[in-house]
Amino acid sequence: MAKSKGGEGKKQRLDKILSHVGYGSRSELRKQAKQGLITVNGVIVKDSSAHVDPYNDTIEVDGETVLYREHIYLMMNKPPGVLSATEDKRDRTVLDLLEERYAVFEPFPVGRLDKDTVGLLLLTSDGQLAHELLSPRKHVPKTYEALVEGEVGPDDVAAFAEGVRLDDGYVTLPAQLTILGRERGRLIISQISLTITEGKFHQVKRMFQAVGKKVIFLKRVSMGNLPLDANLPEGACRELTSEELKLLRTEI
């Protein structure tokens, strides 16, 4: 792994830095330091409480260069059947799908996808970014693709563009509904794309319910300017690239 560049140069305790990125507890790191397994800029450091610059010093543990970052930003292709939560006593959560190298950062989902909804889910340890993305004031667009039982037509497109009244009386903000196709069999199934700029509970399903139709499959394909990686297998996740993170930040 390569060392992260471009930080502010603020020094921190060596054991705090290494425990933050998953190299062990402070007591474990103290033992590794005493064994001569930790170096900073090529020099063995036997005091794990020493202060170093995690961004501009080269830190190695047992010959492996440490990649330090304060926060982690992950894209997951959420599968069905798991909860967008940090913990649950009965069901698996998206955190249960993470590799240990990601889990050590204790990321959390940015917003929620229903248990049976799939697609793009962001996870991060950056609370400020999550707050900005979810803020009702920002109106960050989210695009979904869905299969809808019933014939979605021009009247529905017009209704969604005006905003529809949900079952609790709330009128949604205008949304962009696009009809992608239809399958005619025993039932008519409409293929649609929908972009909304808010995140009410079960909003997409309730919007179609408001016009007398039922969503039978739902997938989020983008959030802001960030699209779901089409090559990311369902249930897998990876870190955002610097360019993807920039795309995400352009919305806030």
In 3-state terms the chain splits into helix, strand, coil percentages (rounded to 5) of 25, 30, 50
| Nearest CA-CA partner of 199 in 141, 129, 154 | 141
Residue 37, CA atoms < 13 Å, CB-side half-sphere: 16
Strand 108-109 relative to strand 214-223, pairing: unpaired
Q: Which residues are bridge partners to 166 per DSSP?
A: none
Annotated catalytic, 114? yes
Cα gap 244→143, rounded to integer Å: 17
Per-residue DSSP letter, 93: B
Strand 118-124 relative to strand 214-223, pairing: parallel
Q: Which residues are bridge partners to 165 per DSSP?
A: 171
- Catalytic residue chosen out of the listed positions 57, 88, 96, 114: 114
Cα gap 238→188, rounded to integer Å: 37
Q: Which 3-state string (H, E, C) describes 56-70?
A: CCCEEECCEECCCCC
Cα gap 83→92, rounded to integer Å: 6
- Rounded to the nearest 10 degrees, what angle do helices 127-134 and 242-249 cross at? 40
- What positions carry a catalytic annotation? 114
